[in-house]
Each structure stands twice: as C-alpha cells, then as structure tokens.
A and B are shown apart, each in its own frame.
Chain A
C-alpha cells in the first residue's frame, strides 16, 4: 500500500526562526527526491491561513494521501495542521510533523550546515513515518458535567463559583477544615488595602450555600482514574468526629476544650487553638473538627468535655474516615503554596532570635481577629517596636534556596511597611534587591510608601544578629547589609525584623502531580500546557490548574486564573463530548498465545486475561496508549495505534537516510498466511 502514497512536504521558514539557520529552500528541493514525495514546497509561515490553504489545495488538486509539515514542535502546531488536513478531507492522523525549529534551527544556530543536514534527516524520518501511518478515528466520549475543584483558596473558590453559577455541579475538596486558604489569614490586601476578610467571606459563604457546590472540607483526593470527561476520583473525607447534621457551630465545645495547642496552620504558629476547633470565626463550613493528635480523650481515654457540653450531641468520637468514589468530567487543581521555611536561612535568626517574624506571622499579628488583636507587638506580647526592618527575598531569588522571584513579596512588604506606620510610630527599613511592582496601580502604592517615610535600602540583608558592636545596638536586632546605592556596609539596629518568606510549591506537589497525571517543574509548580498560550491547561486533558500551584502570583492573578479555568471547563461541558486521541493498544486475539507477559505491565489495569479463551484483551476505555505492552509482547500481536511497529521502524530508516548502507532490505513486514 505504501508504494502508492502521494506525500506532500511543506518546509516552514517560520520567519527567520528556521530560515535564518536552515537552508529551507534547499531542504524543500532535496525532499522532492524522497520516495513517494509528489509535492515539496517551502513557505514563510505554514501556520498562517495561507500556509494552511496551501496544504488544503494540494490535497484537493494533487490528491495527496499523506502530509508532512516541517516546522515547529508538534506540541505547538500539530493540531493546526491536522485541522487543515481534515478540512481538505484527509484523515488528520495521516499528517506528520517534522520538528526542525526546536530540534534543529534553534539549537544549532552556530552551524547552519549541520542544522540543514539535521533538518533533512528529520524531514526524511517524517516522510518515512508518514508512509506507514494509518487513518484513525478519534474516540468520542460524553463529558460528565460535574467538575472537581481541588483546593479551597481564593483560586479554587472562584473556579467553583464560576462553574456553579453557570448551572453545573462542582465538588470542592479542601484539605483543611475550612475553605479560605491563605487569603483568609490576611488582614489587608495590597495595593488598595481592602480588608481581606471583608472581600473573601462573602465568597466563602456563597460556596458554602451554593446549591450546585458540594463542599468537602477536611478531605483529600486519593486516586484519580479515567480520562477527560470521564474521571473517577476517590476522595477520603477525614473523620471530623463531629456529626455535621447535628452540629450548629455554637462553639460550646471549643470553649470548654482544655487542650491548647499552637496553631501552626491558621495562626502561623503565633497563636493557639483548642483540640476541637474551628480554624477561624468566618470558617466555612462552620463545623469544628477534633484534632485527634492533641485531643486528651484520644490520648488517654478521658476528658470528653466537648461531648458533655455539646447541646446537640454532635460529638462522635467513633466517627471514621469516609471514602467517596464519584465521577467527574473535569478537574481543576488550585492547591496553592507553602510558605518558605525561614529556618532554612539561619543567618536571619528566625526561630533563634525572638523578634524575627515571618511575613505570615506578621499578617496574623496585624489581623484584628489575630492573636494580638491587630496590634503590632514584639514576641513578649506587650512592647510596641520603635523600629522595624523588613527583609525582602527570603527564600526567593537565591540559588541556595529558590532561584525564582515569588512575585508578591515586594508588594506585601510595602503593605507591611504601611501597616507598621499606621499602627505604630516605628521607623521602617525595607531591605530589597529590586522593587518589583509591575501590575496596575502597584507603582503608585510604592510611591505612596516612599512619601510615608519608609526607608528603602537597596541591598539583600546579609545577616540579622543580636551581637551589639556599639552602645546603641545593645538589646536590638542588627540588620547588616550592603547598601548598593551608596556602596557601603550598613548596620541598622531595630526592634523587630519581618522576613518576607517566599512562596513554595506545596511540600507534596510532586506526589499530587503524579496522582493527577500532570507535569511538575523541578521546583514543584505544576506545568501548564503552554507557558504563554495555554497557562491554564495541563498535559493531561481535562485537568486544569489555577492559582499559585502553577507559579507565584498575587490574589488578582489567582482569581483570574480561577475564572479562566472555569471558562475552560465550561467550554468543554458546553461541547458535550470530547474527542480522545485514538492512540490505543489493541491485541489481535486470534494470534494472542496467552503468555501473559503483558498482563502485569499496564499501570491502568486495562489488560484483562480471558481465562476461557486463554487470550488477553485491552479495554480501550482504560488504555492510555503508552505502548508498554506493545513493546513487551513477545509474539508482536499487540498493535500500538499511531505508533505502530512499522511506523517507528520506517522512521528509523528515514532518519538514517545518509548513513544507511545501500540496498539494506526493508524490514517492515507484510503478514503472510500459514499453510
């Protein structure tokens, strides 16, 4: 069959991106000599509508049966050109992309000759592979209209509300007892100084009361199976030890609870909570949980004070974790971030010098409902500082910790400086590397702060110490830094130091990315499908990301991403069905000998062994097309669609066009019938 194929080859200049290094005209001319190539052209921008029309015309007029476009990565424009083929009536899976930009012109810019030769090989490989391609039809599957949103911070809240308001069901899963995320811990938000709680609480309330939102707090997603439109998720609802049908959230239990523990989550270690607790007054849902690790009853079997005082008998010490298995069509991950642990930089004294605080501690301190009732006080809880140093870039822009910029700390530091000024008479010193105040109105806020009399010292602080060298330093914390604007070392004695700790991926983000089958950067932020054009989607269709889990960003950006994710989900739901790449394994059951080599290899348990027929069978709904079983099958009776044995063997031959020995036999095979 392959002898009769008519292949069209199109070499893209991509402006100068390819043509600046690769002799594209030369490659196009040369490609005419390849077997089965009937058309070979070069064009300025193949992805333009004119470029695509070129393909469509040739398919119609020249009767092309295969199309090869040599341009950028298939991850960029494979869908574009498949679309062009489709419009001209050619099965889109008969299209093959040759990546001569990312894999040739851009990486061999200093050697045009080598880049051109490599481009020829890539084109030759693609042509050879194209010859062996087979037409395929994508699977179509209906989309489950329910969406799973993981993470109840501002990004997740916004996603959930947008989807729910459009009339579709949402399951919102939150690991902590209440939604709200980091934003619920803040007092003010920059640059408008809006009260964080005032703008967040209504949204939390809406989530809690929305008829389309099923809220599962104190819960975690343990397992995800399936594919876009048809995921099955397993959620563990941790035992709250509270019967939420009976609980009214009155608070009798936590008021009577004798077990006090440091609240490391909501109060950032600055305050206390009881063993049975509701993280904060505006919590949604309003129900408390019993932290069994600090509960006296769970430790030594006595107490049960909460149970005694509960007016509705809602305390249930025997409650067990509940496992919920449900199906959803799309998933949005908005799992947020962890704060950089400032103890990792001992030179700044956090955890050793009492009056060194983290940014989150300071947030709690300035919050009217926080441990100090909103007063700015030293660790002794009574003294107001007379001078405060704010150190930027703690665990950010630092090769020893995180090399990226956490994006929000400059603005948060300005906000802190303002709040210190507002609440005390203290002098404020900001130690910064660069002030990064890019979004709208942020620079105005910076200017305002400069007018408020905050001192800005350009230089990363080297150290915070209590070792005084001069009388005025005694009893103070001394911040040592090089002021790079005046080129001098400075020692500033202060009462309080605030470390602007950076944003880090969640400690378990690698694990979570693995669970959801999406990529994760080295640092641990989830990978978007495309950094510019598709920052919401992931490589796993039907799974989207929003908020800081994708990368450091502020509240408005998280909100926007949440809405964007919702819109992506809604457009899929609106479409009603998904097309799934037909890259699947298929076992020729007539020829399967039942050796069972493949049975154990499938990570999705898509291969069943049929005892009665003694053959194995692939369940196409579960198969994800990795090809592991295809390669392993010792009798070669598993066919891996689109990545068939013949197509890869043929591509190898094509790639090696210039070094292959002459007359080497083709080793792709045509099946013959046994006698």
Chain B
C-alpha cells in the first residue's frame, strides 16, 4: 500500500478515494486496455460505467463527494469523437459550471476533473489517474461529512476577548 502521509499528514493510513465516471465507448475501454496491457496505476479510482459522459448528472458528483470520495474524475471520448456526437461537450459545460459552484463552497476545483481518452489510449487513462491521485493526495482528504456535521448545535462560546459587553 502506498503511504499517502508523505503527501498530506491527514491521510493517516488511508488512501485517496476517487469516483470515476467513464463513458462506455472510449474511456471505459481505455481503462480495459490499461488492464489488458498491465499498465499499473494507483488503486484510488472506483469507476462507474455510463453510456456517455452526457449522462453525467452533477448530482452524482456531489453525491460521491458527500458520501466520502475525495475527488471525482469524469472521462469521455475526445471532442469530435464522442460516440453520441457531442455528449462530451455537455459534460464539459456541466463540469465547468459545477466546479465554479463548488469552489464557492470551498471545494477545490481539482477535486472534480475532466479528461479524455480514446479506446486506444490506455496509457492516457493511466496517466490521468496517476496525476489526479497525486493532486488529490496533496490536497488531503475532503472529509465532507465531518465538515457538514461540525455544525453541532453545541459549539463552544465565542472567544473571551470579544466579551467586552453583554
């Protein structure tokens, strides 16, 4: 197991978890090809096969982050090569707007990434996962749940120095 503490102390013993959305025709096959070619990459990606990145509902991305993923990687066919003509453009637009929205809520845009790999590009797929893993490793765990549930009703009182008046 890789020691991710070297990237960020908060990892402790655990590894980054990245949810992948791979399109059936290009990137999922690129991942298959990486397999048949035995191109190793970090065991951080857990992928979901969708027919096209056009199926990517931003709800899925938020869901993944909320449920414990540290990042989300969306991969499709190269522009102009989408099996469904232009689903990947829709994915690109959605990811663009989603990242803007998430960044306003303090989620680093690197946590949601978009990339392309054709069915023949096992190596590009592999490299993309490696790069993303490293970026996420450096950012540290997202800890979405801890963040939301820090909202405990029983907060400590505000700092004493402010208490000049009642």
Interface contact B51-A643, CB-CB below 8 Å: yes
Give bound CA distance, A625 to B66, whole Å: 28
A386 at the interface (CB under 8 A from B): no
One of B79-87, B99-107, B156-164 contacting the partner: B79-87
Give bound CA distance, A111 to B3, whole Å: 13
Interface contact B55-A661, CB-CB below 8 Å: no
A336 at the interface (CB under 8 A from B): no
Chain A nearest CB from B10 CB (Å) reads 14
Interface contact B43-A102, CB-CB below 8 Å: no
Give bound CA distance, A603 to B54, whole Å: 11
A537 at the interface (CB under 8 A from B): no
Give bound CA distance, A74 to B29, whole Å: 10
Interface contact A107-B34, CB-CB below 8 Å: yes
The residues of A that contact B49 with a CB separation of less than 8 Å are 74
Interface contact A645-B57, CB-CB below 8 Å: yes
B135 at the interface (CB under 8 A from A): no
Knowing A122-B46, A656-B17, A656-B46, the reply to whether A101 touches B35 (Cβ < 8 A) is: yes
Give bound CA distance, A356 to B45, whole Å: 53
The residues of A that contact B73 with a CB separation of less than 8 Å are none
B68 at the interface (CB under 8 A from A): yes
Give bound CA distance, A640 to B55, whole Å: 9
Knowing A103-B47, A115-B43, A652-B67, the reply to whether A628 touches B19 (Cβ < 8 A) is: no
Give bound CA distance, A113 to B48, whole Å: 21
Interface contact B68-A660, CB-CB below 8 Å: yes
A361 at the interface (CB under 8 A from B): no
The residues of B that contact A521 with a CB separation of less than 8 Å are 118-120
Q: Using an 8 Å CB-CB cutoff, how does the interface string of B79-122 with A read, 1 for contact, 0 for none? A: 01101111100100010000000000000000000000011110
Chain A nearest CB from B8 CB (Å) reads 16
Knowing A522-B120, A630-B55, the reply to whether A111 touches B46 (Cβ < 8 A) is: no
B window 18-42: CB within 8 A of A: 19, 25-26, 28-29, 31-32, 34-36, 38-41
Which of A631, A632, A643 has the most B CB atoms < 10 Å from its CB?
Answer: A631
Interface contact B54-A626, CB-CB below 8 Å: yes
Interface contact A652-B118, CB-CB below 8 Å: no
B128 at the interface (CB under 8 A from A): no
Closest to B40 in A: A107
B137 at the interface (CB under 8 A from A): no
Interface contact A107-B17, CB-CB below 8 Å: no
B132 at the interface (CB under 8 A from A): no
B1 at the interface (CB under 8 A from A): yes
One of A248-256, A260-268, A374-382, A512-520 contacting the partner: A512-520
The residues of B that contact A652 with a CB separation of less than 8 Å are 19, 48, 60, 63-64, 67
Which of A75, A109, A583, A604 has the most B CB atoms < 10 Å from its CB?
Answer: A75
Interface contact B87-A107, CB-CB below 8 Å: no
B139 at the interface (CB under 8 A from A): no
Interface contact B118-A519, CB-CB below 8 Å: yes
Give bound CA distance, A514 to B67, whole Å: 37
Give bound CA distance, A110 to B148, whole Å: 37
Chain B nearest CB from A428 CB (Å) reads 38
Closest to A519 in B: B119
The residues of A that contact B118 with a CB separation of less than 8 Å are 519-522
Chain A nearest CB from B145 CB (Å) reads 4
Interface contact A107-B32, CB-CB below 8 Å: no
Interface contact A627-B55, CB-CB below 8 Å: yes
- Other 5 A-B pairs with CB < 8 A, given A75-B28, A107-B40, A114-B1: A73-B32, A118-B46, A121-B46, A521-B119, A656-B64
List chain A positions with a Cβ less than 8 A from chain B.
73-75, 99, 101-104, 106-111, 113-115, 117-118, 121-122, 125, 510, 513-514, 517, 519-522, 527, 539-540, 583, 601, 603-604, 624-628, 630-632, 640, 643, 645, 648-649, 651-653, 655-656, 659-661, 664, 667
List chain B positions with a Cβ less than 8 A from chain A.
1-2, 14-15, 17, 19, 25-26, 28-29, 31-32, 34-36, 38-41, 43, 46-52, 54-57, 59-60, 63-64, 66-69, 80-81, 83-87, 90, 94, 118-121, 126, 145, 149
Q: List 22 A-B residue pairs with CB atoms under 8 Å apart, sorted by A's residue number.
A: A74-B49, A102-B31, A102-B35, A110-B40, A111-B1, A113-B1, A118-B46, A125-B46, A125-B48, A519-B81, A521-B118, A522-B121, A603-B86, A604-B85, A626-B54, A628-B55, A628-B87, A630-B55, A631-B94, A652-B67, A656-B46, A664-B67
